Amino acid sequence: VEAVVIGGPASNGIDNEIAKKLNLKREKLEHKIFPDGESYIRYPIELEGKQVIIVQSLYPPQDKHLVELLLALDAAKDLGAAKVIAVVPYLAYSRQDRRFRGGEAVSIKTVLKALRSAGADALITVDVHKEESLNYFEGSSINVLPLRELVAYFEDKLSEPLVIAPDKGAVRRAREAANILNCPYDYLEKSRNRITGEVSLSLKGVDVRNRDVLIVDDIISTGGTMALASRRLRELGARRVFAACTHALLRRGALKKLVNAGVHEVVATNTVPSEISKVSVASAIAEALRKLISV
Ligand code: R5P
């Protein structure tokens, strides 16, 4: 069955790279915004009977990019696509994955239900905040972890490396990165003084003194989490602190905050465009796609 890669307005070049790697045809969705702000999309080719791979990331403006994706998915189905695969490198709303306070929307559930009902038969995303969230998607899904690619960027720069997760939730990433680098890993444990309310970060198992530390996390948004971790690791005696993340949202002067917190270098993947998005996730996604495309 013929497969074609379709680049949405927020594909950040990943569509083109994937198509090249898989030796598939690539087309861009036609796209414009009406004077009142509504989105318009159109497929420039016939989709009848084809496997359609739609690449659209959900970086800011998330809501606009989400609506564009929904329009594209539904239209692909209408136009007779045999199978529709949504490739969503940055899956927005993934941090609101449960009701932290009564009455809240479980946003990721809503987004995944919407993608499915619009027409996504399968979903590929990159480093979703919590992998279990993908259970809300009632189709096949693959979460690509781009650690091999991120770590490769740093490999030659680190001496006596150590990988640290900025919190317990991120420890799986740290473990995988450490396995690749063949070095130890740990996570920063947050504790709060019940009297003063002060938050402190501590390490349990490893000594960071005179080591190059690589902090890995899924998202850098305001940079607060990474900055705090970097400060603490420097206090504990780390030689240099490097930071790697998958999704560089970089809001409110995040990069400056990281520099001020002593981060030597920070790098991200290209799921979200930014000045530090230097590592491509295209190969990792192409590999996952091979499992979903039928030949
Ligand atoms: C939190 O659970 C995430 O994994 C990130 O650590 C967090 O969202 C980063 O946000 P910020 O850069 O604003 O601290």
As annotated, the active-site residues are 190
Q: What is the pTM of this model?
A: 0.96
**pLDDT tens digits for range 180-228:** 999 999 999 988 888 888 888 999 889 999 999 999 999 999 999 999 9
Structure tokens at 98: 């449960």
Task: Tell me the average pLDDT across 23-41.
Answer: 98
User: Sign of the C-alpha dihedral, residues 257, 263, 264, 268?
Assistant: negative
Pairwise CA distance, residues 265 & 245, whole Å? 11
Please give the distance, rounded to the nearest whole angstrom, from the Cα atom of residue 72 to the centre of ligand 1: 30
Q: Quote the pLDDT of residue 28.
A: 98
Confidence of residue 100 (pLDDT cuts 50, 70, 90): very high
Q: Quote the pLDDT of residue 31.
A: 97
Pairwise CA distance, residues 232 & 261, whole Å? 9
Structure tokens at 202: 């501590």
3-state secondary structure 218-273: EEECCCHHHHHHHHHHHHCCCCEEEEEEEEECCCCCHHHHHHHCCEEEEEEECCCC
With a 6 A CB cut-off, is 220 part of the ligand 1 pocket?
A: yes
CB 169 within 8 A of CB 188: no
Please give the distance, rounded to the nearest whole angstrom, from the Cα atom of residue 217 to the centre of ligand 1: 8
